[in-house]
Protein backbone atom coordinates (compact mmCIF):
# COMPACT_ATOMS: atom_id res chain seq x y z
CA UNK A 1 0.00 0.00 0.00
CA UNK A 2 1.33 3.44 -0.88
CA UNK A 3 2.14 6.25 1.51
CA UNK A 4 -0.22 8.99 0.35
CA UNK A 5 -3.17 6.75 -0.50
CA UNK A 6 -2.91 5.26 2.99
CA UNK A 7 -2.90 8.75 4.44
CA UNK A 8 -5.92 9.67 2.32
CA UNK A 9 -7.77 6.67 3.70
CA UNK A 10 -7.07 7.79 7.25
CA UNK A 11 -4.45 5.15 7.88
CA UNK A 12 -0.98 5.69 9.25
CA UNK A 13 1.68 4.44 6.82
CA UNK A 14 4.51 2.54 8.40
CA UNK A 15 7.40 4.13 6.55
CA UNK A 16 7.87 7.79 5.67
CA UNK A 17 8.91 9.01 2.22
CA UNK A 18 10.60 11.89 0.48
CA UNK A 19 8.43 13.89 -1.91
CA UNK A 20 10.74 15.99 -4.09
CA UNK A 21 9.55 18.61 -6.58
CA UNK A 22 11.16 17.51 -9.80
CA UNK A 23 9.70 19.56 -12.66
CA UNK A 24 12.87 21.67 -13.08
CA UNK A 25 15.02 18.56 -13.22
CA UNK A 26 12.51 16.96 -15.59
CA UNK A 27 12.87 20.00 -17.83
CA UNK A 28 16.66 19.55 -17.78
CA UNK A 29 16.27 15.88 -18.72
CA UNK A 30 13.85 16.80 -21.51
CA UNK A 31 16.16 19.57 -22.69
CA UNK A 32 13.75 22.44 -22.28
CA UNK A 33 12.77 25.23 -19.93
CA UNK A 34 10.53 24.71 -16.90
CA UNK A 35 7.71 26.72 -18.51
CA UNK A 36 7.93 24.60 -21.62
CA UNK A 37 7.62 21.30 -19.79
CA UNK A 38 4.69 22.36 -17.62
CA UNK A 39 2.76 23.43 -20.68
CA UNK A 40 3.33 20.16 -22.56
CA UNK A 41 1.58 17.21 -20.88
CA UNK A 42 3.36 14.63 -23.01
CA UNK A 43 6.86 15.80 -22.13
CA UNK A 44 5.85 16.43 -18.53
CA UNK A 45 4.37 12.96 -18.07
CA UNK A 46 7.37 11.34 -19.79
CA UNK A 47 10.20 13.19 -18.09
CA UNK A 48 8.91 13.34 -14.52
CA UNK A 49 8.89 9.55 -13.94
CA UNK A 50 12.32 9.27 -15.52
CA UNK A 51 13.80 11.69 -13.00
CA UNK A 52 11.87 9.95 -10.22
CA UNK A 53 13.41 6.66 -11.33
CA UNK A 54 16.89 8.20 -11.23
CA UNK A 55 16.28 9.42 -7.69
CA UNK A 56 14.42 6.24 -6.67
CA UNK A 57 11.52 8.17 -5.14
CA UNK A 58 8.21 6.36 -4.51
CA UNK A 59 5.96 9.38 -5.06
CA UNK A 60 5.51 11.96 -7.78
CA UNK A 61 4.69 15.58 -6.98
CA UNK A 62 2.94 17.30 -9.87
CA UNK A 63 2.47 21.03 -10.29
CA UNK A 64 4.46 22.30 -7.28
CA UNK A 65 5.79 25.22 -9.23
CA UNK A 66 5.46 28.64 -7.60
CA UNK A 67 2.38 30.47 -8.83
CA UNK A 68 1.49 27.68 -11.24
CA UNK A 69 -2.13 27.66 -12.39
CA UNK A 70 -3.34 30.68 -10.44
CA UNK A 71 -3.10 32.89 -13.52
CA UNK A 72 -5.63 30.60 -15.22
CA UNK A 73 -8.31 32.07 -12.96
CA UNK A 74 -7.39 35.56 -14.12
CA UNK A 75 -7.25 34.62 -17.80
CA UNK A 76 -10.39 32.48 -17.84
CA UNK A 77 -12.38 33.05 -14.63
CA UNK A 78 -15.40 31.06 -15.83
CA UNK A 79 -13.58 27.92 -16.92
CA UNK A 80 -10.01 28.02 -15.61
CA UNK A 81 -9.59 24.29 -16.18
CA UNK A 82 -9.66 25.04 -19.91
CA UNK A 83 -6.59 27.26 -19.58
CA UNK A 84 -3.58 25.63 -21.30
CA UNK A 85 -1.57 25.44 -18.05
CA UNK A 86 -4.30 23.63 -16.14
CA UNK A 87 -5.23 21.50 -19.15
CA UNK A 88 -1.62 20.33 -19.21
CA UNK A 89 -1.70 19.66 -15.45
CA UNK A 90 -4.87 17.60 -15.80
CA UNK A 91 -3.62 15.63 -18.77
CA UNK A 92 -0.27 14.98 -17.14
CA UNK A 93 -1.97 13.80 -13.93
CA UNK A 94 -4.30 11.53 -15.90
CA UNK A 95 -1.42 9.93 -17.77
CA UNK A 96 0.72 9.49 -14.68
CA UNK A 97 -2.20 7.95 -12.79
CA UNK A 98 -2.59 5.40 -15.57
CA UNK A 99 1.08 4.65 -16.14
CA UNK A 100 2.84 5.08 -12.81
CA UNK A 101 0.55 3.38 -10.36
CA UNK A 102 0.51 1.30 -8.29
CA UNK A 103 4.30 1.70 -8.30
CA UNK A 104 4.27 5.36 -7.34
CA UNK A 105 1.94 7.71 -5.49
CA UNK A 106 0.72 10.86 -7.10
CA UNK A 107 0.39 14.16 -5.22
CA UNK A 108 -0.99 17.05 -7.23
CA UNK A 109 -0.90 20.75 -6.42
CA UNK A 110 -3.64 23.16 -7.41
CA UNK A 111 -3.71 26.87 -6.61
CA UNK A 112 -5.39 27.55 -3.28
CA UNK A 113 -8.09 30.22 -2.82
CA UNK A 114 -5.59 32.72 -1.49
CA UNK A 115 -3.28 32.24 -4.45
CA UNK A 116 -6.23 32.64 -6.81
CA UNK A 117 -7.37 35.86 -5.11
CA UNK A 118 -3.83 37.19 -5.36
CA UNK A 119 -3.70 36.34 -9.05
CA UNK A 120 -7.02 38.11 -9.57
CA UNK A 121 -5.77 41.12 -7.62
CA UNK A 122 -8.73 40.81 -5.31
CA UNK A 123 -8.87 40.76 -1.53
CA UNK A 124 -9.68 37.53 0.27
CA UNK A 125 -13.26 38.28 1.19
CA UNK A 126 -16.60 36.53 1.08
CA UNK A 127 -17.75 38.04 -2.21
CA UNK A 128 -14.58 37.08 -4.07
CA UNK A 129 -14.48 33.61 -2.55
CA UNK A 130 -18.12 33.06 -3.53
CA UNK A 131 -17.19 34.15 -7.05
CA UNK A 132 -14.29 31.72 -7.41
CA UNK A 133 -15.88 28.86 -5.49
CA UNK A 134 -17.73 27.26 -8.42
CA UNK A 135 -14.69 27.24 -10.69
CA UNK A 136 -12.41 25.97 -7.92
CA UNK A 137 -14.84 23.14 -7.26
CA UNK A 138 -14.92 22.28 -10.96
CA UNK A 139 -11.13 22.33 -11.20
CA UNK A 140 -10.79 20.16 -8.12
CA UNK A 141 -13.40 17.75 -9.50
CA UNK A 142 -11.46 17.50 -12.74
CA UNK A 143 -8.22 16.82 -10.83
CA UNK A 144 -9.90 14.23 -8.61
CA UNK A 145 -11.38 12.52 -11.66
CA UNK A 146 -7.77 11.84 -12.74
CA UNK A 147 -7.44 9.85 -9.48
CA UNK A 148 -4.32 11.20 -7.75
CA UNK A 149 -3.64 10.03 -4.20
CA UNK A 150 -3.66 13.48 -2.67
CA UNK A 151 -4.40 17.04 -3.73
CA UNK A 152 -2.61 19.97 -2.12
CA UNK A 153 -3.89 23.55 -2.17
CA UNK A 154 -0.75 25.49 -2.93
CA UNK A 155 -0.84 28.76 -0.96
CA UNK A 156 2.39 30.63 -1.02
CA UNK A 157 1.37 34.13 -0.11
CA UNK A 158 0.51 35.46 3.29
CA UNK A 159 -1.33 32.30 4.31
CA UNK A 160 -0.52 32.71 7.94
CA UNK A 161 -2.41 35.97 8.24
CA UNK A 162 -5.36 35.42 5.97
CA UNK A 163 -6.10 31.73 5.67
CA UNK A 164 -7.89 31.14 8.92
CA UNK A 165 -10.96 33.36 8.61
CA UNK A 166 -14.51 31.95 8.41
CA UNK A 167 -14.86 32.62 4.69
CA UNK A 168 -11.65 30.82 3.89
CA UNK A 169 -12.69 28.00 6.19
CA UNK A 170 -15.99 27.71 4.37
CA UNK A 171 -14.45 27.32 0.91
CA UNK A 172 -11.94 24.80 2.27
CA UNK A 173 -14.83 22.87 3.73
CA UNK A 174 -16.52 22.68 0.32
CA UNK A 175 -13.29 21.60 -1.35
CA UNK A 176 -12.70 18.95 1.28
CA UNK A 177 -16.22 17.57 0.77
CA UNK A 178 -15.46 17.24 -2.94
CA UNK A 179 -12.23 15.30 -2.35
CA UNK A 180 -13.93 13.12 0.26
CA UNK A 181 -16.42 12.04 -2.38
CA UNK A 182 -13.49 10.86 -4.48
CA UNK A 183 -11.79 9.24 -1.49
CA UNK A 184 -8.77 11.51 -1.92
CA UNK A 185 -7.03 13.48 0.79
CA UNK A 186 -6.91 17.27 0.59
CA UNK A 187 -4.06 19.22 2.10
CA UNK A 188 -2.63 22.71 2.12
CA UNK A 189 0.92 23.90 1.47
CA UNK A 190 2.16 27.15 2.94
CA UNK A 191 5.50 28.82 2.95
CA UNK A 192 6.83 32.22 3.88
CA UNK A 193 5.23 32.01 7.31
CA UNK A 194 6.64 33.64 10.40
CA UNK A 195 5.55 31.73 13.45
CA UNK A 196 5.44 28.02 12.61
CA UNK A 197 3.82 26.75 15.85
CA UNK A 198 1.06 29.36 15.51
CA UNK A 199 0.56 28.45 11.87
CA UNK A 200 0.30 24.75 12.70
CA UNK A 201 -2.30 25.53 15.34
CA UNK A 202 -4.40 28.00 13.39
CA UNK A 203 -4.49 26.17 10.07
CA UNK A 204 -5.90 23.18 11.90
CA UNK A 205 -9.19 25.07 12.24
CA UNK A 206 -9.64 24.61 8.48
CA UNK A 207 -10.65 20.93 8.94
CA UNK A 208 -8.00 19.96 6.41
CA UNK A 209 -6.03 16.96 7.62
CA UNK A 210 -2.86 17.31 5.63
CA UNK A 211 -0.30 20.09 5.81
CA UNK A 212 2.78 20.55 3.71
CA UNK A 213 5.21 23.14 5.01
CA UNK A 214 7.43 25.17 2.78
CA UNK A 215 10.23 27.29 4.17
CA UNK A 216 9.33 29.97 6.69
CA UNK A 217 10.16 33.63 6.22
CA UNK A 218 12.22 33.87 9.35
CA UNK A 219 14.78 31.59 10.89
CA UNK A 220 13.92 28.00 10.01
CA UNK A 221 12.90 25.74 12.86
CA UNK A 222 14.50 22.34 12.96
CA UNK A 223 12.43 19.33 11.96
CA UNK A 224 12.30 18.21 15.57
CA UNK A 225 10.92 21.59 16.65
CA UNK A 226 8.30 21.54 13.88
CA UNK A 227 7.22 18.04 14.83
CA UNK A 228 6.98 19.03 18.47
CA UNK A 229 4.78 21.97 17.48
CA UNK A 230 2.58 19.77 15.30
CA UNK A 231 2.13 17.03 17.85
CA UNK A 232 -1.32 16.80 19.36
CA UNK A 233 -2.87 19.21 16.82
CA UNK A 234 -4.64 16.38 14.99
CA UNK A 235 -2.88 16.62 11.63
CA UNK A 236 -2.91 13.33 9.79
CA UNK A 237 0.21 14.24 7.88
CA UNK A 238 2.76 17.02 7.88
CA UNK A 239 5.31 17.38 5.12
CA UNK A 240 8.50 19.04 6.27
CA UNK A 241 10.53 20.98 3.76
CA UNK A 242 14.12 19.99 3.43
CA UNK A 243 16.76 21.73 1.38
CA UNK A 244 19.54 19.94 -0.44
CA UNK A 245 22.62 19.68 1.72
CA UNK A 246 20.63 19.88 4.92
CA UNK A 247 21.20 17.17 7.51
CA UNK A 248 18.45 14.59 7.84
CA UNK A 249 17.32 12.37 10.64
CA UNK A 250 14.71 9.67 11.21
CA UNK A 251 11.00 10.53 11.45
CA UNK A 252 8.63 9.18 14.10
CA UNK A 253 6.81 5.94 13.24
CA UNK A 254 3.74 6.72 15.37
CA UNK A 255 1.15 9.50 15.53
CA UNK A 256 1.05 12.12 12.78
CA UNK A 257 2.47 10.91 9.47
CA UNK A 258 5.58 12.99 8.77
CA UNK A 259 7.41 12.98 5.48
CA UNK A 260 10.08 15.08 3.82
CA UNK A 261 9.30 17.30 0.87
CA UNK A 262 11.25 19.79 -1.17
CA UNK A 263 11.39 23.43 -0.14
CA UNK A 264 11.07 24.39 -3.79
CA UNK A 265 11.90 22.93 -7.17
CA UNK A 266 15.03 20.76 -6.97
CA UNK A 267 17.72 22.36 -9.12
CA UNK A 268 20.65 19.97 -9.12
CA UNK A 269 20.29 16.33 -10.05
CA UNK A 270 23.43 15.17 -8.24
CA UNK A 271 22.58 17.00 -5.04
CA UNK A 272 19.03 15.67 -5.16
CA UNK A 273 20.29 12.16 -5.70
CA UNK A 274 22.68 12.44 -2.76
CA UNK A 275 19.88 13.79 -0.60
CA UNK A 276 17.57 11.02 -1.75
CA UNK A 277 20.10 8.36 -0.80
CA UNK A 278 20.70 9.97 2.60
CA UNK A 279 16.97 10.16 3.24
CA UNK A 280 16.42 6.59 2.09
CA UNK A 281 19.01 5.49 4.62
CA UNK A 282 17.48 7.62 7.37
CA UNK A 283 13.85 6.69 6.70
Partner 1 sequence: MGFNVGIDIGGTFTDFCSIGDDGNIIAYKTPTTHYDLSVGFMRGMRELAKRCELAPRDYLSKVHALRYSTTVGTNALIERNGPKLALITTAGFEDTIFIGRSRSWADGLPMHEVRDMARISKPAPLIDPDMVVGISERIDCHGKVIAPLNREELLAKIQLLVDKGAMGFVVSLMWSFLNTEHELLIKKIIEEEYPEDYLGSMPVTLSSQISPKAGEYTRTMTSVVNAYIHGIMADNLNQLSSELRDGGYQRPLILVHNTGGTKKVSRTKAVLTHNAGPVAGMYGSLAVGALSGNPNVVFTDMGGTSFDIGVIVDAELRAHDFIPVIDRWRTNIPAIEVKSIGSGGGSIAWINELMGNSLEVGPHSAGSMPGPACYDKGGEQPTVTDADLVLGYLNPDNYLAGEMFLDVELSAGVIEEKIAKPLGISVLEAAYRIRRLVDARMGQEVFNEVALKGHDPRKFAVFACGGAGATHACGFAPYIGARKVVVPAVASVFGAFGASTMEIRQVWDLSRTLKLFRWDQQHYLEDLESFNGIVRGLKLAAIRDLKLEGFREEQMEFHLELDMRYGSQYNLTKVSVPRLALQSEDDVRELCDSFTRRYSEIYSPEAAFPVGGVNAECFYLSASVRQEKAAFRKEAGGGESPAAALAGSRQAYFDPAHGFIDTPVYDWRLLKPEHTIHGPALIDAPETTYVIDRGWTYVMDAWRNGVLRRDS
Residues forming contacts to partner 1 in the complex (CB under 8 A) are 133-134, 137-138, 141, 144-145, 147, 173-174, 177-178, 181-183
Query: By C-beta, is 175 or 213 nearer to partner 1?
Result: 175
Query: By C-beta, is 102 or 121 nearer to partner 1?
Result: 102
Cβ–Cβ under 8 Å, residues 261 and 239: yes
Query: By C-beta, is 8 or 256 nearer to partner 1?
Result: 8
Q: How far is the CB of 141 from partner 1 (least distance, A)?
A: 7
Cβ–Cβ under 8 Å, residues 237 and 265: no
Nearest to 136 by CA among 168, 170, 111: 111
Q: How far is the CB of 283 from partner 1 (least distance, A)?
A: 26
Query: By C-beta, is 147 or 161 nearer to partner 1?
Result: 147
Q: How would you classify residue 203: left for phi > 0, otherwise alpha for psi between -120 and 50, otherwise beta? A: alpha
**CA–CA distances in Å: residue 117 to residues 11, 47, 127, 159, 160:** 33, 31, 11, 12, 15
Query: By C-beta, is 56 or 180 nearer to partner 1?
Result: 180
Q: How far is the CB of 69 from partner 1 (least distance, A)?
A: 18
Query: By C-beta, is 66 or 91 nearer to partner 1?
Result: 91
Query: By C-beta, is 35 or 177 nearer to partner 1?
Result: 177
Q: How far is the CB of 10 from partner 1 (least distance, A)?
A: 10
Q: How far is the CB of 194 from partner 1 (least distance, A)?
A: 31
Q: How far is the CB of 136 from partner 1 (least distance, A)?
A: 9
Cβ–Cβ under 8 Å, residues 184 and 148: yes
Nearest to 171 by CA among 129, 123, 124: 129
Q: How far is the CB of 149 from partner 1 (least distance, A)?
A: 13
Amino acid sequence: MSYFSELSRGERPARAVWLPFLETLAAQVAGCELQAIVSDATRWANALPRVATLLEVPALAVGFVDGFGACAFADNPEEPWRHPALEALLECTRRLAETERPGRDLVVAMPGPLAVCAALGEPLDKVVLEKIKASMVKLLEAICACRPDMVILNETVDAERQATGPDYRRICNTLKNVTEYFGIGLGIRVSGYGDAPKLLRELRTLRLDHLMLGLGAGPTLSAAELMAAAEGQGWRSVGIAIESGQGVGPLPQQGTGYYWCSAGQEQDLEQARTLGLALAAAL
